[in-house]
């Protein structure tokens, strides 16, 4: 039972155990990470037929590959014979098939079982039925989104509408031309913290004045601590020439970005594991891979106009700003992770009024976990 906050303006957080208990993490894997649309890889990570990547989604390893028809397919990375992990590499390219290293069952790029030793001793074996188990796939905004659920939720309402609402409209999303942008830089962070701490940190700006000196220079209203949740549809106004580590001019406005979007910053959280930042000259996409109760790998992509990459323009001042922000944020998350198992945090902490929207995230987590009794007891906002 959570102790009631001592002041009417404070809301309770989740208890510390929600961030450290392996059983809590397993439940979140089952009911959240494996049940939601999960942004797995960039479409450009699978450039050719036979390109593949493996990723961890909840408790499962997933194999993503591009077929000869150019469609991306996703499979449980489990051999249908005796369950060996089929592909053990993180990325690469195969010519036309994946062969299990155990008894050499071989699967085509569409997942069909194409050959197996002694197949002639099994006449009439249904090669599709014994093919790899498929996973729902959508390609959107230049990324491959997958859902491990048998009956995935609506992609439109749980992903597309969320982004459109934050940016003001569906047209506003497409103004950035995200699916035609090129990868300017990718940095992977291995964060010793629970994924929910990373989400909660990303959602609030109460910490901005304390830990983000460079960011508050570029976005002065962030120093007030309100911006992240109050700028829905309008974005935050930039106080410098560019979204760069020293405020200097950036890379030049993306072709579709409108006057209203120019010199503005938009931040979108797509639960459970994607953050998108949009500024006039580039887009930053974070994908989180929760690997354990206390470990989250974050892949962060800086997407820029393809001409910027083709011309070899130096993007480091643009990248350095948010790279510093990321490191500052993840340090804070790791500092919190230490406290989550303390006996004094067993009942959780409190949310101040400018963080109340984090209560909505906690409510979402609890509702996804199917714990209405905790909602009814008023343990969360
Ligand atoms: Fe894969 Fe036997 S477990 S071929
Ligand atoms: Fe931050």
Cα dihedral sign, 196-284-166-213: positive
Around ion ligand 2, which residues have CB less than 5 A away?
329
User: Ligand 1 pocket check: which of 76, 98, 100 to mutate, most ligand atoms within 8 Å of Cβ?
Assistant: 100
Query: What are the tokens at 169?
Result: 């409209």
**Residue 37 CB coordination number (10 Å):** 25
> Which residue, 4, 101, 117, 96, is CA-closest to 52?
96
pLDDT less than 50: residues of the chain: 1, 376-381
Mind listing the pLDDT tens digit for each residue in 11-38? 999 999 999 999 999 999 999 999 999 9
* Contact between 152 and 64 (Cβ < 8 Å): no
State the DSSP H helix or E strand holding residue 55, giving kind and residue range, or none if neither: strand 51-57
User: Ligand 1 pocket check: which of 82, 111, 114, 127 to mutate, most ligand atoms within 8 Å of Cβ?
Assistant: 82
Nearest CA to ligand 1 atom 2: 103
Q: pTM for the whole thing?
A: 0.94
Determine if ligand 1 sits within 6 Å of the CB of residue 96.
Answer: no
Measured in Å, residue 327 CA sits from the centre of ligand 2 at 9
Q: Which atom of ligand 1 is nearest to the CA of 79?
A: 1
User: Ligand 1 pocket check: which of 103, 114, 119, 133 to mutate, most ligand atoms within 8 Å of Cβ?
Assistant: 103
Determine if ligand 1 sits within 6 Å of the CB of residue 105.
Answer: yes
Nearest CA to ligand 1 atom 4: 103
> Which residue, 341, 349, 57, 330, is CA-closest to 192?
330
Beta strands in 148-223, from DSSP E residues, in sequence order: 182-191
Whole-angstrom CA distances from 51 to 41, 69, 97, 171, 379 are 12, 13, 11, 32, 47
Determine if ligand 1 sits within 6 Å of the CB of residue 313.
Answer: no
d(CA 322, CA 250): 13
Query: Residue 235: what pLDDT?
Result: 85
- Is 229 exposed, middle or buried (CB count within 10 Å of its CB: 0-12, 13-18, 19+)? middle
Nearest CA to ligand 1 atom 3: 82
Query: What are the tokens at 287?
Result: 């994908």
Determine if ligand 1 sits within 6 Å of the CB of residue 130.
Answer: no
Determine if ligand 1 sits within 6 Å of the CB of residue 117.
Answer: no
Whole-angstrom CA distances from 252 to 82, 256, 279, 327, 372 are 54, 12, 11, 26, 49
Measured in Å, residue 328 CA sits from the centre of ligand 2 at 7
Closest ligand to C-alpha of residue 87 is 1
Determine if ligand 1 sits within 6 Å of the CB of residue 102.
Answer: yes
Angle between helices 195-203 and 356-368 (to 10 degrees): 140
Determine if ligand 1 sits within 6 Å of the CB of residue 81.
Answer: yes
ipTM of the complex as predicted: 0.97
User: Ligand 1 pocket check: which of 81, 107, 118 to mutate, most ligand atoms within 8 Å of Cβ?
Assistant: 81
Mind listing the pLDDT tens digit for each residue in 335-380? 999 999 999 999 999 999 999 999 999 999 999 999 765 654 444 4
Determine if ligand 1 sits within 6 Å of the CB of residue 24.
Answer: no
Closest ligand to C-alpha of residue 116 is 1
Cα dihedral sign, 22-27-32-35: positive
Query: Residue 378: what pLDDT?
Result: 44
């Amino acid at each position: 039972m959570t102790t009631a906050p001592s002041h009417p303006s404070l809301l309770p957080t989740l208890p510390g155990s929600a961030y450290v208990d392996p059983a809590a993490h397993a439940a979140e894997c089952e009911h959240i990470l494996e049940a939601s649309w999960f942004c797995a890889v960039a479409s450009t990570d699978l450039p050719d037929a036979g390109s593949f990547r493996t990723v961890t989604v909840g408790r499962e390893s997933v194999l993503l590959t591009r077929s000869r028809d150019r469609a991306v397919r996703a499979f449980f990375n489990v051999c249908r014979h005796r369950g060996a992990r089929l592909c053990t590499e993180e990325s690469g390219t195969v010519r036309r098939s994946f062969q299990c290293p155990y008894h050499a069952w071989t699967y085509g790029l569409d997942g069909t079982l194409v050959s197996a030793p002694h197949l002639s001793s099994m006449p009439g074996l249904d090669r599709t039925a014994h093919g790899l188990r498929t996973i729902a796939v959508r390609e959107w905004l230049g990324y491959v989104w997958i859902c491990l659920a048998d009956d995935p939720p609506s992609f439109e309402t749980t992903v597309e509408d969320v982004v459109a609402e934050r940016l003001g409209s569906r047209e506003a999303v497409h103004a950035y031309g995200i699916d035609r942008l090129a990868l300017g830089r990718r940095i992977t962070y291995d964060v010793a913290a629970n994924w929910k701490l990373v989400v909660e940190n990303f959602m609030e700006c109460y910490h901005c004045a304390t830990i983000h000196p460079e960011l508050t220079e570029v976005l002065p209203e962030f120093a007030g601590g309100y911006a992240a949740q109050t700028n829905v549809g309008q974005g935050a106004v930039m106080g410098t020439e560019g979204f760069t580590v020293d405020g200097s001019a950036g890379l030049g406005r993306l072709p579709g970005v409108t006057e209203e979007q120019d010199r503005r910053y938009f931040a979108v959280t797509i639960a459970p594991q994607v953050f998108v930042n949009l500024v006039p000259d580039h887009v930053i996409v974070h994908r989180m891979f929760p690997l354990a109760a206390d470990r989250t790998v974050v892949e962060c992509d800086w997407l820029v106009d393809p001409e910027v990459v083709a011309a070899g323009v130096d993007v480091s001042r643009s990248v350095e700003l948010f790279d510093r922000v990321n490191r500052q944020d993840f340090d804070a998350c790791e500092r919190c992770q230490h406290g989550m198992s303390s006996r004094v945090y067993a009942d959780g902490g409190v949310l101040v009024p400018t963080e109340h929207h984090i209560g909505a995230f906690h409510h979402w987590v609890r509702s996804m976990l199917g714990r209405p009794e905790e909602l009814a007891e008023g343990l969360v906002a």
